[in-house]
Structure 1
Amino acid sequence: MALPPAFLDELRARTPLPGLIGRKTRLARNGRQWKGCCPFHNEKTPSFYVYDDHFHCFGCGAHGDAITFLMRAEGASFPEAVERLAGEAGLEVPKPTPQAAERERRARDLYGVLAAAEAAFRRRLMLPEGRPALDYLRRRGLTDATIARFGLGWSGEGRGALAADLKAEGITPDQLVAAGLMKPRDPDRPEAGLVDLFFNRVIFPIRDRRGRTISFGGRILGDGQPKYVNGPETDLFHKRRNLYGLDLAREGAFRGAPVLVVEGYMDVIALHQAGFAGAVAPLGTALTAEQLEALWGVSPEPVLCFDGDAAGARAAAKTAELALPLLAPEQSLRIAMLTGGEDPDTLVAKGGPAAFQAVLDAAKPLSAALYDLLAGSPPPVTPEQRAAFRHRLEAAARGIPDKALASEYRRVLLDRFFVEGRPPRGGGGGARPAGPRPAWTPRGRPGELVSIAGLQRIAIDPASVRLERARNLLAILLRHPMLLPEVEEPFATLDLPEGDAVLLRHALLAWLPGADLLDSTALMDHLRERGLESVLAWATRSAGLSQAAQPEAQPKDAMDGWWHFFGLLRGEAELIEDRAEAQRVLVETNDPLAQQRLIRLQEALNALRGGEADETAQPGTIG
């Protein structure tokens, strides 16, 4: 028995080709597709391209989908390739039963029924009885070419009109029920007969990713309710998996158009007519995980458009919550918010394509939008509110399964959290710089000599002390960059003094992912090439540097010194919080790295409580 086309379509949709083919040959992103050396013939110049649903080699002509690739690359038979891919995708291969054969036959028939129904609806739109619907579409600004491209039609006003139209083609009422076009008038009384699902409505064909009609949506003319209806679930149509306009958006994305998710049919159609060829919409419900996966199959970073009101913010927050467990380095989202009560349809009608393009240009990466959504309005200001907000940010980052990506999100979110929580410079108000308060500060201005019991001592400037500690922490990493992988996360989220310290941190974290060798000389040369020579000179000047920041320091001493300065800069309350988080991660993962971090945090906390925070760094010491 041949496998059902719907099953094979689902299997292909659930099998990301770059991931499958990337096991056999190294791929690199090339615009909207991937490129690499062909695994089927020996070549040195890449000519093998991987798209969202097929691969093609311009050298040897190899071409196909995921099933074809597995058959060709590993010599698997068709059933073996399907069984393996289905196992990885979490699908069960249909068994060759008489019932399955009947379902397959019925599915083939349903495509034909739906195609015939679409043709009938389109004919009715152009008849005199369809003139009110055609006038409505033209008043909405749609051209005849757009109406034809989307297959828009008219259901008719007479009961049983569709069944009468299709009877001549041998289509029975039972087939119309199976296709979601008719339903029992009274489910409890079969003898009551059938009734049309779409009546007195403008018809919008809903198509699958391959462009086949699988259901319809309908909009009533006049003030009746519900305004829009979609066809019911059938063997072909599943609301959670399909998106309106996806077939056209795939073509648009292939030609470079951004993929956009808007709310309704008319939004999609108006945007396509205005030149935004990647627009799609969910089918009357909020976005689902299956629809997000379908979007990522077309574009690595689709743009979700929401209304700028409270309801839009709630919808955006719900979608972000849904997306976090599905994020990966190669699949994310951007968020665009509409303002002024406009939707894409009305915005384009009033302001033209440029008005909507401005909305797209202002779209935020998910990390930035997530911060705003979690902050809410008004933003948190009290210590209690900010502590709760910080917990929400960290919880959101933990929801991302990819550890590297989760770490990046945590760093970005907390960096912004600390920057926005820092008091403005020169703003007065008596706010002191962040960090431990010195146990004793002699009276006098910073830098002024103060006499105490015959001794002269320079008054301590807390901001200068904090900057010096940050310099020591950075100098240790410059001299011993092999420590960076172990301390990357706490280093990324540490609240450092603005200016050279923050600039140098960003440079170190940017260098790490691409570094082939964690060597101090290579790091210094890299930073000098980036124009940071003066910052390097500040960080590594010998006066005031601890032994841990010297090139000859042993790795253990350098690591101990780094965590010492981290504790001084972090503060006791934050260290206690970090320790609790490390304990939680250790319990959940039993990861040796988590255990090591817990030990380091405890040591930093012990040192801080032992009074070392009251000392400033002196040459040859750690303090």
Structure 2
Amino acid sequence: MALSPAWLDELKSRITLSALIQRSVKLQRAGREWKACCPFHSENTPSFYVNDQKGFYHCFGCQQHGGAIDWMMEQHGLPFMDAVKELASEAGMDVPAPDPRAARQAEQRATLHDVMKAAQEWFVAQLAAPGGADARAYLERRGLDEHTIRRFGFGWAPDDRQALKTALSDFDERLLIEAGLLIEVEEKLPYSRFRGRVMLPIQDARERVIAFGGRILQDRDGVAKYLNSPDTPLFDKGRTLYNLHRAAAASRKSGRVIVAEGYMDVIALAAAGLEDAVAPMGTALTEQQIELLWRMVDKPVLCFDGDKAGTRAAMRAAERALPLLRPGHSLQVVQLPAGLDPDDLLGRDGRKGMDKLLEAPKSLLDLVWEHEREASPLASPEDKAGLKARLMEHVDTIQHPDIKSLYRRELLDRYGSFAYPPRDFARKEPFQKRAFFRRDGPQPTPPHVTKRLREASSGAFRDMLTAAVLGGLARHPAEIHRHSDNLLALAKSDAQLARAVDFLLESSEDLEDRGNSPIFANDVLPPAPDNTRFSFLMEGSDPEEAREDLAEAVALLVERPALEAAIVAATRRFDTDPEGAFAEQQRLRKRKLEIDTRLGQMTRKRAASQAFENEIADAAEHSVAEQETD
């Protein structure tokens, strides 16, 4: 009976492996995994680990490895189908009825594995034969020793169109074509796909050869440097990672996976002791390959060449990953120095040089920001607006709402700092003489600004958060344009508030340039409740903390009306979908409560800080008074 991979994956997803194994083995929690003394061999200290997230067990002592089906077969002595039926019964799944066509396909796959194994053995033999002398010399020039050549299964495909077919004559010609070893052309004899190339086997997670990659000995115009097998019943290049079967075991020890551009990069890294490296099959990293990587580690490290092609490859991977991002899962990026690939860097700086780069990867967000900032000149306002548009296009592809919101906020903050840099007030003579003026701190609001804000907003200030945000922007005018998108969105929801927003956007430069405006230490902010203690409204606040709190307050202010509208919409659906509407309403109300709680934390934090400062001041005064009395 042939069971589809999709059905088997569904079965495995319904089984908690640790619960299955704990029926006969005492497991102990070890971080995100479970550990025990290995049930397959005698030992005194635990080397047997179970990982529910990845769905496998592994012993670092005897190398036993497998999943739920393997466990039932090994520990309970069940045949494959009996193990599957036992697990399916527990998971509440029906085993599919026999499918003759699927059975024939499974039989064909088994036969193709035999073909690929025979081809690999023949390629290896040809490398060792006299005809493989040039190939052996090439591998020696690449710095590959005998151990590496044997370990990775290097071979040689002679420059002969019929040699492989003759060597594998025991197999039907149709199988050789189906395996991608022969090319079929109308009215011509099928001929070898790989000719005059150093050969590398591509293996699946069970170490079976499923495809080949070949490299020519000397680069020639019009001839592809690297050539991979086509997609076959065994090989899907978009779902395969080179060296996955070796890197998976190594990554469990290192907690890391390195993604290089090509398989020669992987081999160079492995030869230097970096065993946890994989590579895509000559194409951009696909969504399926990203998911494979996330099964091993939460944040794989992309290690691409330090040239334009390497940068493009990193960005293509980023564009594939952004829609898939989920909490805790992302990509990291290491870009090598210009003109170097991993082999070059290892040859120049050794293992230490590579380790140093791998220890400080940049985030996916950093990659997007730096790439788009450097993508084209930014000499005009139109150029800068184009940068913002490109950044937001990336953000719009992110599916997870919280991650999308955080990316938007962070990229807009970076864009605001870049597009609207603070003015250099030190160059202006009047300000050089004012030692009390702190450019990076909150500034008292001039009376004429307070008056204009009152006139522009009228009733809008009745809300504490709205009043606090507008007052905070007036005190931190350099932040106004950074939050312009959110302010304009907010203005659309409130006609009265729109006048205040327009005034802030139009007057931001006047607010920054206060050379002609008197500054009063006891100036009055836009009217907010007396108990408002947001850091961005208080004298003596830490500038960075004030800016961060102001950015969060703006975001919460924008989110709140949208949240309230969504609650109203959910309430209206009660008649048609009471259960769904109730669940949605509860989720929205929970988020609203989180916003209120966060606002309370922001004000209480500042209040506590102020109280602590007051206590210190009182203690100091008391100490001075006692000394004077003495």
TM more than 0.5: yes
State yes or no: 1:440 paired with 2:500: no
Partner of 1:197: 193
Cα shift readout 1:355-389 (whole Å, capped 9, x = no counterpart)? 32233233112232233234334686866665665
Partner of 1:536: none
More helix by share: 2
- The percent identity for this pair of structures is 35
Secondary structure in 2 matching 1:297: helix
The answer to whether the 8 A contact 2:257-2:300 is kept is yes
State yes or no: 1:178 paired with 2:178: yes
State yes or no: 1:500 paired with 2:499: no
C-alpha separation in 1, matches of 2:537 and 2:345: 43
State yes or no: 1:364 paired with 2:362: yes
1:403-552 correspondence runs (5 A): 403-417=401-415, 421-423=420-422, 427-428=426-427, 438=446, 440=448, 459-460=519-520, 472-474=532-534, 500=542, 502-503=544-545
Partner of 2:208: 212
C-alpha separation in 1, matches of 2:523 and 2:193: 72
Partner of 1:331: 329
Displacement of 1:304 in angstroms is: 0.7
Displacement of 1:462 in angstroms is: 11
C-alpha separation in 1, matches of 2:388 and 2:530: 23
Partner of 1:106: 108
C-alpha separation in 2, matches of 1:322 and 1:11: 26
Cα shift readout 1:395-439 (whole Å, capped 9, x = no counterpart)? 544543344444444454445445555527765469898899746
C-alpha separation in 1, matches of 2:373 and 2:402: 24
Task: Please list every run of 5 or more consecutive structure 1 residues that lacks an aligned counterpart in the other structure.
Answer: 39-44, 447-456, 476-493, 507-564, 602-623
- The amino acid of 1:123's aligned partner reads A
The answer to whether the 8 A contact 2:181-2:229 is kept is yes
- The amino acid of 1:500's aligned partner reads D
* Residues 70 and 504 of structure 1: CA distance in aligned 2, closer, same or farther (over 3 Å): farther
C-alpha separation in 1, matches of 2:569 and 2:388: 21
State yes or no: 1:115 paired with 2:117: yes
The answer to whether the 8 A contact 2:204-2:245 is kept is yes
The answer to whether the 8 A contact 1:107-1:235 is kept is yes
1:55-66 correspondence runs (5 A): 55=57, 65-66=67-68
Partner of 2:486: none
Task: Please list every run of 5 or more consecutive structure 2 residues that lacks an aligned counterpart in the other structure.
Answer: 38-45, 76-81, 432-438, 451-474, 476-516, 571-580, 596-630
The answer to whether the 8 A contact 2:445-2:523 is kept is no
Displacement of 1:341 in angstroms is: 1.0
Partner of 1:344: 342
Secondary structure in 2 matching 1:214: strand
Partner of 1:34: 33
Cα shift readout 1:539-569 (whole Å, capped 9, x = no counterpart)? xxxxxxxxxxxxxxxxxxxxxxxxxx96998
* Residues 394 and 435 of structure 1: CA distance in aligned 2, closer, same or farther (over 3 Å): farther
The answer to whether the 8 A contact 2:160-2:192 is kept is no
Cα shift readout 1:299-331 (whole Å, capped 9, x = no counterpart)? 221111233344433332222121012122232
* Residues 247 and 23 of structure 1: CA distance in aligned 2, closer, same or farther (over 3 Å): closer
State yes or no: 1:78 paired with 2:84: yes
- The amino acid of 1:264's aligned partner reads G
C-alpha separation in 2, matches of 1:209 and 1:388: 44
- The amino acid of 2:160's aligned partner reads G
Partner of 2:246: 248
- The amino acid of 1:116's aligned partner reads A
* Residues 375 and 222 of structure 1: CA distance in aligned 2, closer, same or farther (over 3 Å): closer
Cα shift readout 1:2-36 (whole Å, capped 9, x = no counterpart)? 436xx27x9449967998879999x99957x5249
The answer to whether the 8 A contact 1:441-1:460 is kept is no
Displacement of 1:161 in angstroms is: 1.4
The answer to whether the 8 A contact 2:152-2:201 is kept is yes
C-alpha separation in 2, matches of 1:305 and 1:495: 45
The answer to whether the 8 A contact 2:294-2:300 is kept is yes
C-alpha separation in 2, matches of 1:328 and 1:312: 25
Q: CA RMSD in A?
A: 5.2
The answer to whether the 8 A contact 1:435-1:569 is kept is no
The answer to whether the 8 A contact 2:14-2:91 is kept is no
- The amino acid of 2:279's aligned partner reads A
State yes or no: 1:320 paired with 2:318: yes
C-alpha separation in 2, matches of 1:266 and 1:22: 41
Partner of 1:454: none
- The amino acid of 2:50's aligned partner reads Y
